[in-house]
Amino acid sequence: MTHQTLSSVLVTVGSTLFPVLTDLILSPPFLDHLSSLGVTRLVIQYGRADIHLPLLANDRVDGEGLTRFRWKEVDVDVMRFTEDFEGLIKRSEAVISHAGEDFFLKTILPDRIPVLRE
């Protein structure tokens, strides 16, 4: 079995608060793991949550909730929201999400009629 390398990963939580996911993704061991897998770009869209950046990251988040830093070989963009959500999805080889409605409608079933259940 061949192993395919992922170069870009998007993590999105929409507008919800999901600190368990964002804290895990931003933890040094997880960032190290992504780097060891060959990931070179990580985008984290974190919504309204408070985030905890790794010590080596630039702790300054601008007024739009955006910061950028490099972790080993991984360029990391961290943002509250984006106007280009669909573009981020298209440019990412893997997407990690809480699977909210917006994510589901824009990525999983773009050409189908969705049936959602509470």
* Per-residue pLDDT reduced to its tens digit, 59-100: 555 666 678 889 999 999 999 888 888 888 888 888 888 766
Kindly report the pTM of this predicted structure: 0.78
8-108 has which fold?
Rossmann fold (3.40.50)
Residue 7's closest CA among 108, 98, 91, 99?
91
> Quick one: CA dihedral 35, 82, 65, 99, positive or negative?
negative
Ranges of each domain in the chain = 8-108
Residue type, 103: F
Pair 47, 18: CB distance under 8 Å: yes
Rounded to an integer, what distance in angstroms lies between the CA atom of residue 75 and that of residue 68? 7
76 in helix, strand or coil? strand
pLDDT single digits (tens) 35-59: 999 999 999 998 887 777 765 455 5
